[in-house]
Amino acid sequence: MRKLDPARIAVSEEIATWCAQFPASDRALAKSMVASLEFVSRDDYSGWLNGALQQIQQGKKLALYAVRKLDAGLWTPQGALSSRPGTSQGSEDFVYSLVANFCRRDPQQAFDHATIDELKLSKIHDIVLIDDSIGSGERVLNYLVAFLQNRTILSWWSFGWIRFHVVAYSRITSGEQRIITKLPGSDHYSRKYRKSTKVSFYSRRVFHSEWLESRWGKQYQHVLDFCDAEARLSAFVVRGVGNVMANLVFFHSVPDNIPGIFWSDAPGFQPLFGNRALPSWVLDLLDTSAVIGGFNQAAEGSQLDSEIKKLLALVKRGVRSPASIARRFDCDQRYAKGLLTISVEAGLITPTHRLLPAGRDALLRSEAAIAEFDYTMYIPQSWCAP
């Protein structure tokens, strides 16, 4: 993932034009919001998706489906999938191609948009639904409900013969809960197959609506006030659909769960990412912009190295439980547990998640070698109103 640093933002005519529509007193804050956005390339997304699918597979047969918006039912009376529209489906087109590539590598274990007959004949019990991000959960929920409208599928679901794995690079916890709540079936403790046990979620980033500092910095309340004050946008989109306030943007699509000031086409308003597409000038800026963290990760090590350093800093401050670490990393608990396991095996922390001398030394070396700049609180003088 990459970010636009203040130096690149300051020289961008497109960003300056976009900021000009806001009051002079708010333009510096608008630019700082741009600096808080994180951009996910196609390679980053596809690499993560392949890893997530391999983690789910573990010798099991999988049926993979790219989630898309449905105007009609999903299944035909014959049990085949309804035809996809001939026009572009946006981000779903990219996900669809990744699904096809994964299934071609192992056609005996991974099935590309399998029909009901294929599910039955191949005895597939694990259904994988793939999206790039989950905000309110509406699209995934509608797809799941349409999937279960077939009586055969619904009976398999009721008897616990199939389970769903929902894979999205990012999701918000409220969207996840909404999906589980609205699904057919009961979650009562007396049920043999509670519906919540038949749905699993896998994400690289997990957003919590109440934990905004990790995304927008310590000034997050000013960011909220700025978004809410934009009268040209509807309340439905000012904080992003579902009030997610996400900060993740994909090269292949711009999610609607980031603040509406970036993408809304409301009358009289000029979005930064029109038509929810990433303009070429952003890609040009990212080619020369700093990598997340304010230093060159290629020179200092991999993304995992930087995450281990952040983990050690959290452990030093007393943040030790997987749930607390996951919240601060905006990730799944299973990912946080993986980082803790790696750190324990490397001799950096104890099994009870306390710093060992090697971990303390590594943290001191990284703090001395990396002069990380806190861009969330930095406002260049050139951005300020005269």
Q: Do 82 and 170 have their domain in common?
A: yes
String of DSSP letters for 227-238: HHT-TTS-TTTT
Residue 35 in tokens: 């600096």
**Does the reported pTM lie above 0.75?**
yes
Q: Is residue 312 part of a domain?
A: yes
Q: Do 128 and 200 have their domain in common?
A: yes
Domain with residue 136: its CATH number is: 3.40.50
**For residue 299, how many other CB atoms are within 10 A of its CB?**
7
> Which domain range does residue 20 map to?
6-36+208-290
String of DSSP letters for 212-225: -HHHH-TTHHHHHH
Give the domain-ending residue among 157, 173, 207. 207
Q: Is residue 379 part of a domain?
A: no
Q: Do 193 and 54 have their domain in common?
A: yes
Q: Is residue 386 part of a domain?
A: no
Burial of 336 (0-12, 13-18, 19+ CB in 10 A): buried
Q: Do 12 and 83 have their domain in common?
A: no
Q: Do 48 and 138 have their domain in common?
A: yes
Query: pLDDT per position in the chain (386 positions), as tens?
Result: 788 887 788 888 999 999 999 999 898 899 989 989 999 999 999 999 999 999 999 999 999 999 988 777 788 777 777 766 544 455 678 898 999 999 999 899 999 999 999 999 999 999 999 998 888 888 899 999 999 988 999 999 999 999 999 999 998 888 899 999 999 888 888 888 888 899 999 999 888 777 788 888 888 899 999 999 999 999 999 999 888 888 999 999 899 889 999 999 999 999 999 999 999 999 988 875 444 433 333 333 445 577 888 889 999 989 989 888 888 877 778 778 888 988 898 889 999 999 998 888 888 877 654 444 455 556 666 666 66
Q: Do 251 and 345 have their domain in common?
A: no
Q: Is residue 375 part of a domain?
A: no
How many domains is the chain partitioned into structurally?
3
Domain with residue 332: its CATH number is: 1.10.10
Residue 279 in tokens: 């303009």
Q: Do 232 and 359 have their domain in common?
A: no
Q: Do 104 and 166 have their domain in common?
A: yes
Q: Is residue 364 part of a domain?
A: yes
For strands 205-207 and 248-250, give the pairing: unpaired
* Nearest CA-CA partner of 279 in 42, 15, 8: 15
Give the domain-ending residue among 268, 290, 312. 290
Q: Do 141 and 51 have their domain in common?
A: yes
Q: What is the pLDDT of residues 109-147, one digit of tens each?
A: 999 999 999 999 999 999 999 998 888 888 899 999 999
Q: Is residue 239 part of a domain?
A: yes
Q: Is residue 382 part of a domain?
A: no
Q: Do 160 and 201 have their domain in common?
A: yes
